[in-house]
Structure 1
Amino acid sequence: MPNPDDLPTVKSVRFVRATGELKETPLAARAKKDLFEGTIYQIALRSIHEVLEADDFQNIENVAFNGFVTAINPANGLSNRNCILSVLCSRAEFEKIDLARVEPKACFKALSGVSAASLAALAPIPPIITIDKCDRRFVDGREIADTLDASVNLAAMDWEDFEHLIRELFEKEFNSRGGEVKVTQSSRDEGVDAIAFDPDPISGGKIVIQAKRYTRTVGVAAVRDLYGTVMNEGATKGILVTTSDFGPEAHKFATAKPLSLLNGANLLHLLRKHSYDARIDLAEAREALD
């Protein structure tokens, strides 16, 4: 968001006929604070409005807005980035508001928004809600995709290499819109294999990705486990990727839940989308692994 120095500082400009000069009258200190405060509150309210207005299918129930300002700290001369206001509101309560007639600060406070007494002071406040990207489970990813060719059977890959491949593949998917994907430390139980942070205001958030290099049909238990993980992680969605396929009970359980199930055919399509080639032969993999 803008800092106070980004806003106009001139109240009026007058032409002095005698000298041919333009004389500026600066805004008073109080007027500068009022201008900044009004601007920030209006940006917050309008941003929430735009997110909900763009959601044609009304998938969004709640919107969180955290307003960050980057400015020079006069005490030490360093650049600081502080959250100066934060609000979490529901669609239902926001749609009762007539934005054309409200007083921005009063409206923000009525939505239980949090901010310092004076926004112009740029005093930091803790955001009501954040996406935590720090996780001790994260490890450096390995590049696997470039080693693929038509001879590689994904169903017979080393399970750890397969997890890194899935991380790399989804990283390419999310990078195009500013997201990032982190791979987690190998647990040997094929649990949470990667976490994506997607900034998309409609479909984004924290997304749990599980990779299952299976040669048999994935049952409903694995999908239930994924759903439980999504809830425990506070994620917005879960994606389960496998080299095999899902049983009917697995698909039934995932219905109407924030879960996406990608089978072997989906995985090969995603690889080809990013110009990688590989194959899946479950019978061959079963023979090799058994």
Structure 2
Amino acid sequence: MSRRSRGLVATWAEIQRQQQRQEEAQRRAWAQHQREQERQQRAAERAAARSRREQQAAYRQRREDDARRRTEELDRQAEALRNLLVTGCASQAFNPDELKRPERVEPFDPGQLGVPVPMPDPGAYQPRQGGWVLGGSRQAQEQARARYEHDWHAAQAAEAQRQRQLAAYQQQYQRWADEQLAAIRRHNTEIGELVTALGRGEPGAVVEYFTAALYASRGWPDDFPRQVSASFDPAARQLVLNWELPGQTVVPEASAVRYMPSADRDKEVRRPAAERRALYRDVLAQCVLLVLRDLFAADRFGVLDSVALNGFVDDTDPATGHRAQVFLVTVMVSRTDFDRLSLAQVSAPECLVDGLRGQLSDRPDRRAGVRPARLPGEAGRAVVSHGAGMEPDLYEMDPVEFEELVADLFRAMGMQAVTTSRSGDGGVDVDALDPDPIRGGKIVVQVKRYRNTVPPSAVRDLYGTVQSTGANKGVLITTSSFGPGSHAFANGKPLTLVQGTELVDLLHRHGLSGRLGAAPRPAESGLDEEPEGEPDEATVLGLTWSGDVALDVCALVCRGSRVLGEDWFVFFNNPRTPDGSVRMARGSGRDRAAIQVCFERLPQRSDRLVLVAAVDPEAGPGADLSGFTDARIRLSDPAGTAADELDVSDGRTGETALVLGSFRKRANGDWDFVLGGRGYPDGLAALVEEYGIEVE
């Protein structure tokens, strides 16, 4: 019994030891697991801290790089100001031949009218089994032959119509080209007459020529003002002029930019006041010397013996507190004295004051003025002024201000003129009355602040307004240009078309200001501009439908349900987008309307091209879309090769505008067509308002 008892005790003790060993192993494993987790957490924290330090370092580096770039830009601006005279003297002197225009016009481009209508291929009409002679059923052969003959006659009729339209368009072009060439020759003749009068020393010709030389100077910075008043004293052979100088803001207040990491902001280091004042004074002296250089360099006819030049800033006179011209520089210099100078080597202030005995304000920053040696009015001749103040950009001007400017122009021309209210104006922007008893009468004026060529429909609209209001004349004024179709329609009618360049000239001639801004100007040719890119990049969306309803087909380039801007709404009065990626096109073959699209060139921010159709209220007054049936959009290349056809919804009674569908951009860059169908009883205006376009 005792031996068995000892065995049980030993067994029990062994079990206890095993349990203790297992528990100890579990405790060690758990402790190891805890240590491993702590190690991983510490490693993650170190990695996160390292990543934060790297991100902070990268962020700081970016901010410091940005501050350095801004500092370098400030240095470049200051260096450009210091070298203003040297840079200007390196530019080519003005040549009167630059005023002449080359005797060439835009070549004739018929576009789609120059592409013959393709004739149907007989092979495409043969029955599936056999041909017209052998095999197949006789009925199938007759049906195939009938389809072929029908399509052949239709193609022949379309080709005959194309040839008639092409001939008419070529006649329009030729008339327009002859008018353009005649205008160029008249302009060049006037330049020749100006040069002849200049050689005779006629004061008007002298002033006109030398002010043109100053405006055409390639050495004068674009952002500097160009306001001038001038007259010519023929007895002294002296040109007397006032020229506007840049204000002190032309010199940057900051000399450097520093990034402050502790505050996480940029700090501009102010340029010392003495340095800024000295640099501004140097800029004024350089400007005056550069103007003198441009004048004497342009005098290829020996007209000028001397120049009296006064430089002013258009600012507040500290003595009166009123806006006035404060003269900061004045000099009277003979050609002989000026020719002795080596402008590339001089110190501008010393040259002006000591070398030419001129006056330069000691404190131009405080508008401490000088007394002009001679003013233009003292030359005993009429004073000609150009460019008063910074001329407004007609492209960017508020529409109401633009209409008021046009009214001011008519008033400056001796007429009575008022702008109309923004609603209910009947298509009239300015009402004018010419008091002349012979050629005068009521004039209705429309203004189009366009960048693209004005379509002929706008000219037709103006003519309708002239007839409906009983006016004697209609004037259409635009910041862009007119095509040959517009000029052909206006020929022989009481209509006057004024394009952008002519408008600017009229404004200047009557003491008003305006410019066509830095953006590329519309082509002076008047022909529709072709979009950038190769023609084969484009897709033609041709619309066909049954019924006699006349439609206007339009397109909106959108992001979501909002159009990118008014310029991105392509319709009869805006025939193309600013980048030319979408434009109106001529329908070919069966197409009754067409729009040409370069999908690859649509703006990156756009994701939708919406196609809409609306009843033309002039061609079909009172009509609705009930006659718009069996409609399809035919996709083809510019050569007319069809790629696909898309069905669109039919119109409904009472609706006058319809969303045909939209091309929507997928994530991979492809464009898919989504069928529309929503109609609008209130017409195109109600439709486009939903896409964010304000309709007056």
TM-score by length of 2: 0.20
**Larger gyration radius, structure 1 or structure 2:** 2
TM-score by length of 1: 0.44
Comparing both chains, which one has the higher relative contact order based on Cα–Cα distances under 8 Å and sequence gaps of 6 or more? 1
More helix by share: 2
